[in-house]
Amino acid sequence: MSTKTDHRHDDMTLDELVDALRRDGSRVTTARRAVLEEFLHCREQHPSVEELAERIHRRYPDIHLSTVYRNLGRLEEAGVLARVRVGDGPASYHLSTDVHDHAVCERCGVVLHLPPQVMAELAELLDVELGFVLSPSHVTLRGACDSCRRRQPTLKTK
Amino acid sequence: MSTKTDHRHDDMTLDELVDALRRDGSRVTTARRAVLEEFLHCREQHPSVEELAERIHRRYPDIHLSTVYRNLGRLEEAGVLARVRVGDGPASYHLSTDVHDHAVCERCGVVLHLPPQVMAELAELLDVELGFVLSPSHVTLRGACDSCRRRQPTLKTK
DNA sequence: CTTGATGCAAATGGTTTGCATGTTT
DNA sequence: AAACATGCAAACCATTTGCATCAAG
């Protein structure tokens, strides 16, 4: 499960994230801090809720799964996190400062992070042709990654 | 829940679809025919499994929901149907002859069908830059549709 | 001290599965 | 007849919710 092109958000600090929470009018609790810390520590990944809860549970054994769910929700509303649905499985989250789109290989399951200019071009096209304003970091493309397509060049139509 | 730019597959007949099933080595049953008929009658839509099952149930009261699920699965494997996940809700299906991508408006929920050339351009870019071969009809974009963006031009970041 | 956050258990919604029975080939 | 498809009930998984208790403001 490798990942390509990771970028930015190295400047994010816990305090900044916590402030965003406060600005949202939400309370700052141990559980919420724990969630945020997890995102700062596991940079670059898209942890699923389950993964996240498990990791948090190691350090704070009585933070319950449902609390993690609730907090991810609140953090999303506060604009701190973004929810992504990569494939059919459970949802995952990432810091919304770390904006990127995804391309999933349907053969090997690798998740590529798309460099911004690729989607920028698409966004331009959608805007001009349909008046549609593309939301950042909510796109998940599917297809065959470079190595898989080389390995077995013809794409199934079955 | 309006829809834009509907195209093709007006030539599809039940027999052709049934043949595809046979070619796949699957048996042709009342339930499967019923599913296929439903897709031929409700052209242009993306019925959810539930909707589909309900509609089928009207004509064949003892075709069970689980059977519809199983058959949608088989029909997908046979290459007759394509599954789409538009938004967070339940999955929906469409005839795989009716290939198109989707753009969902996050404000009003309208689902646009993208004209092929829009995604074609993106596909080209992905191929050249990343060696990624985009799969047709599996893309769901999110954003704001033309009328919603006019109504309230600034996009929430909050 | 008031309101919002949490733990826990139980409910939900979409989807899948095990098994005995019925249908297609 | 053999293999496969179906009905039904029950399991499943990710997520949500009700409620009594607890902690942040």
- Whose tokens are 């939301």? That residue is A135
Which pair of tokens denotes residue B75?
């029909």
**Residue A33 confidence (pLDDT) above 50:** yes
Which residue from B94, B36, B90 is spatially nearest to B63, judged by alpha carbons? B36
pLDDT, tens digit, 9 for 90 and up, residues A98-153: 878 888 887 787 888 888 888 888 899 899 989 999 887 677 888 899 998 887 65
- Whose tokens are 């996009």? That residue is B155
Is there a contact between B119 and A116 (Cβ–Cβ < 8 Å)? Answer: no
pLDDT, tens digit, 9 for 90 and up, residues B79-103: 999 998 877 889 999 998 887 788 8
Which residue from A105, A86, A107, A111 is spatially nearest to A4, judged by alpha carbons? A111
Q: What is the mean pLDDT of chain A?
A: 85
Question: Across the interface, do B129 and A146 touch by the CB < 8 Å criterion?
Answer: no
CA distance A127 to A86: 24
Model pTM? 0.80
Average pLDDT over residues A26-33: 98
pLDDT, tens digit, 9 for 90 and up, residues B14-23: 999 999 999 9
Q: How confident is the model at residue A155 (pLDDT cuts 50, 70, 90)?
A: very low
What is the model's pLDDT at position B11? 65
What is the model's pLDDT at position B60? 97
What's the gap in Å between the CA of B101 and the closest CA on chain A? Answer: 11
Partner residues linked to A48 by β-bridges: A92
What is the model's pLDDT at position A102? 83
The conformational region for residue A98 under phi > 0 = left, psi -120 to 50 = alpha, else beta, is beta
- The string of DSSP letters for A48-103 reads BHHHHHHHHHHHSTT--HHHHHHHHHHHHHTTSEEEE--SSS--EEEETTS--EEE
B-chain residue closest to A145, CA distance: B132
- Whose tokens are 């990343």? That residue is B130
Q: What is the share, in percent, of chain A residues with pLDDT greater than 70? A: 87
- CA–centroid distance for B101 within its chain: 9
Q: Which helix (H) or strand (E) holds A112?
A: strand A111-114
CA distance B48 to A90: 19
Which pair of tokens denotes residue A13?
């600090």
What is the model's pLDDT at position A30? 98
What is the model's pLDDT at position B3? 44
pLDDT, tens digit, 9 for 90 and up, residues A83-96: 988 878 899 999 98
What 3-state class would DSSP assign to A147?
A: helix
Q: What is the share, in percent, of chain A residues with pLDDT greater than 90? A: 49
Residue with more model confidence, B49 or A2: B49
Average pLDDT over residues A46-56: 93
Residues 45-74 of B with CB under 7 A from strand D: 60, 62-64, 66-67, 70-71, 74
Which pair of tokens denotes residue B121?
């351009």
Question: Across the interface, do B118 and A118 touch by the CB < 8 Å criterion?
Answer: no
Choose the closest CB to A142 out of B77, B79, B135: B135
Residue with more model confidence, A114 or A54: A54
Q: How confident is the model at residue A158 (pLDDT cuts 50, 70, 90)?
A: very low
Which pair of tokens denotes residue B137?
């009809």
Residue environment code for B88-110, b if the CB has 16+ CB neighbours within 10 A, otherwise e? eeeebbbbbbbbbbbbbbbbeeb
**Residue A56 confidence (pLDDT) above 80:** yes
List of chain B residues with pLDDT < 50:
1-9, 155-158
Strands B101-105 and B140-144: parallel
* Cβ-based neighbour number of residue B139 at 10 Å: 23
What is the model's pLDDT at position A36? 97
CA distance B104 to B148: 12
Q: How confident is the model at residue A57 (pLDDT cuts 50, 70, 90)?
A: very high
Q: How confident is the model at residue A61 (pLDDT cuts 50, 70, 90)?
A: very high
- CA–centroid distance for A80 within its chain: 11
What is the model's pLDDT at position A153? 58
* Interacting residues of B106 by C-beta distance below 8 A, sequence separation 6+: A135, A138, B142, B143, B144
CA distance B113 to A111: 25
**Residue A15 confidence (pLDDT) above 90:** yes
Question: Across the interface, do B139 and A141 touch by the CB < 8 Å criterion?
Answer: yes
